[in-house]
Amino acid sequence: MSYQALYRVWRPQLLEDVVGQMHITKTLKNALIQQKLAHAYLFSGPRGTGKTSAAKIIAKAINCERAPVAEPCNECAACRGITAGSIVDVIEIDAASNNGVDEIRDIRDKVKFAPSEVRYKVYIIDEVHMLSTGAFNALLKTLEEPPAHVIFILATTEPHKIPLTIISRTQRFDFKPITNGELVDRMKHIMETNEQTYEEEALFLIARAADGGMRDALSLLDQAISFSDEKVSAEDVLMITGTVSREALMTIARSLGHGDTKEALETLDRVLRGGKDGKRLLEDLIYVFRDMLLFKAAPEATHLFERSVLNEEFSQIAAGFQNEWLYAAIDALTESQQEMKWSQHPNIVLELALIKLLNARSWRETTGVEASSNAAVQELEGKLSKLENAIKQLQAAPSTVEGDGNKKASASAPRRKMQKGSQQPRAATGQVKEMLQEASKQQLQQVTSRWGEVMERMKTTSVPGHAWLSDSKPVAASETKVLLAFQNEMHRDMMDTKFRETLCQVLADVFGDHSDFLTLLGSQWEKIKEEYVKVRQEDGEDPAPANPLIDEAVKLVGEDLIEMTDK
């Protein structure tokens, strides 16, 4: 059979023909021309990137009759013989099938013999990571100090499986995946040389499917040429590769943006019935959303797109999504991608992934479909901001205890300034002392016994008011007023201003007559109580005669846990 596959016909014969590896080819050219070649090389990288091709080119260059040269002439007997594989001194070994100790020992025994046809023996060991541990150990000494007429070139796609003792004895070159642009340029050159017509979109689809490998790209191109009648079209490539068309991907993306479940699922069903791979479709969707994120972040970097082309349709669809939704969509699709690997029904997993994206609550918030919902969120945020500002103002200028409980805190700024500092405690002290003249222990016991009911009613009437009030406790009571002591100044200020009317109404409902209240801090109450008791004692009116039993109880458990009743 005289026909040869494209990847064999167009296999690089010069270092400059190795596409996408300029960082390696330049180094090797300089080493060849300067005759500074190492005794062992390690070529690592993805499949189809030129590792074994570069190894054979080196073998030809060092044995070329015109050496030292940067490139082999490909005309002398040595170059033509190595290209044809007829030179016995250039040995290519497949380590996948020759991975035992015996094969490596055979190399070790023969390596000392001088070459018979050319100047250098070259051992090219492909897929070297497949060698056994014993084979690697057998190769160590020979690889470290080979005879002057021998060069080893090791090639692998999995360098992490090679022992470090081997890697340290070689000069390593890492071949990188070939970019889509470089693949397309190479295929254009081949098609034009062969005088074959093609659609540029078809070559881009082949490059995308090749995933950075030139051999894969040329194999797919060869298949597309055989499938096509006269012109290699994008439809032909989509048919032979199982790739999803860009139009179908954009349709699904547009359906997700509009929330059109019917169109999204029908498009998905049509694609899958056309023989496309669901896993490939899911991967393509992830890349489409990735391209949209890239477009939003850097609109000028369209050359980095993987699955998309910048046009009016793409711009409109991308504008319908916000970054937060795209992040969530990529995460959700990536999770579904993992599930598909282990599912017996991967297409169902794909359908569920689309339905989840369509029904996600975040979709309505990020695509702007429900503007009213966004408005409500903004309104709540505005109210929260106002409340925070009000609290800050109260902390900066706390309100005073007013004598009239129904007065509103609407004083002007100069008035608030006068109420700051030491005037507030003096004003509160006077009002409290007036109230204490009318207060009695019986009234306080009545209020204390029903304070739980006050808290329950307050919670029913106003949950925030209940929260602010929970910091207080009644410490004195008269026939019309209740004195509340607070631990926190901000809590007291909120009850004095925002929730005064609410608490007054609750007190009226529970007690009837106790419909007003005064507030102060717990530390202020202790001072006022001490002064009040001292004055009463000086006047000969001891409000609470000393009781040794009560004093001892206060010492043991504290005054807050003791309730005294008169009998």
- Long-range residue pairs from 99-106, CB within 8 A, at least 24 positions apart, any chain: 99/130, 99/131, 99/132, 99/135, 100/132, 100/134, 100/135, 101/132, 101/134, 101/135, 101/138, 103/135, 104/131, 104/135, 104/138, 104/139, 105/138
Of 2-16, 391-405, 467-481, 529-543, the poorest mean pLDDT is in: 391-405
Residue 275: which residues within 8 A CB-CB, separation 6 or more?
Answer: 242
**What's the rounded mean pLDDT across residues 74-86?**
92
Nearest to 28 by CA among 39, 15, 18: 15
Q: Give the alpha-carbon dihedral of 418, 421, 425, 426, to 10 degrees.
A: -60
Nearest to 37 by CA among 10, 70, 5: 70
Q: 201 is written with which tokens?
A: 């979109």
Evaluate whether residue 82 is within a structural domain. Answer: yes
For the domain that residue 472 is a member of, what is the CATH number? 3.30.300.180
Evaluate whether residue 418 is within a structural domain. Answer: no
For the domain that residue 343 is a member of, what is the CATH number? 1.20.272.10
Averaged confidence pLDDT in the chain: 81
Cα(261)–Cα(265) distance, rounded to whole angstroms? 6
Cα(16)–Cα(410) distance, rounded to whole angstroms? 85
21 lies in the same domain as 116: yes
Q: Which of 327, 348, 366 is the last residue of a domain?
A: 366
Quick one: the chain helix, strand, coil %, rounded to 5? 60, 10, 30
Whether residue 567 is predicted with pLDDT greater than 80 in this model: the reply is: no
* CB 135, CB 99: distance < 8 Å: yes
Q: 510 is written with which tokens?
A: 């529970």
pLDDT tens-digit series, residues 23-70: 999 999 999 999 899 999 999 999 999 999 999 999 999 999 988 899
**What's the rounded mean pLDDT across residues 75-96?**
91
548 lies in the same domain as 442: yes
Q: 449 is written with which tokens?
A: 């016994």
Whether residue 156 is predicted with pLDDT greater than 70 in this model: the reply is: yes
135 lies in the same domain as 205: no
pLDDT tens-digit series, residues 176-233: 999 888 999 999 999 999 889 999 888 988 988 888 899 999 999 999 998 887 889 8
34 lies in the same domain as 152: yes
pLDDT tens-digit series, residues 489-509: 888 888 888 888 888 888 888
In a 13 Å sphere around the CA of 334, the CA atoms on its Cβ side amount to 9
pLDDT of residue 376: 58
CB count in 10 Å sphere of residue 387 = 12
pLDDT tens-digit series, residues 335-377: 888 888 888 888 888 888 888 888 764 444 444 444 444 555 6
Cα(386)–Cα(372) distance, rounded to whole angstroms? 21
pLDDT of residue 400: 44
231 lies in the same domain as 86: no
Quick one: pLDDT band at residue 548, thresholds 50, 70, 90? low
pLDDT of residue 427: 43
**What's the rounded mean pLDDT across residues 132-145?**
89
471 lies in the same domain as 489: yes
Show the domain range for 437.
425-561
pLDDT of residue 166: 93
Q: DSSP for 404-470, please give it.
A: STT--S---HHHHHHHSTTHHHHHHHHHHHHHHHH--HHHHHHHHHTHHHHHHHHHHH-HHHHHHHT
Domain total for the chain? 4
Cα(67)–Cα(486) distance, rounded to whole angstroms? 97
457 lies in the same domain as 499: yes
pLDDT tens-digit series, residues 472-486: 888 888 888 888 888
Nearest to 409 by CA among 418, 420, 398, 395: 398
Burial (Cβ within 10 Å: 0-12, 13-18, ≥19) of residue 119:
middle
* CB 138, CB 99: distance < 8 Å: no
* CB 431, CB 404: distance < 8 Å: no
Per-position b or e across 466-491, b if 16+ CB within 10 A of its CB:
bebbebbebbbbbebbbbbbbeeeeb
Q: What is the reported pTM?
A: 0.58
Torsions phi, psi for 122 (to 5 deg): -125, 120
pLDDT of residue 260: 84
CB count in 10 Å sphere of residue 115 = 17
127 lies in the same domain as 190: no
109 lies in the same domain as 199: no
429 lies in the same domain as 517: yes
pLDDT of residue 550: 54
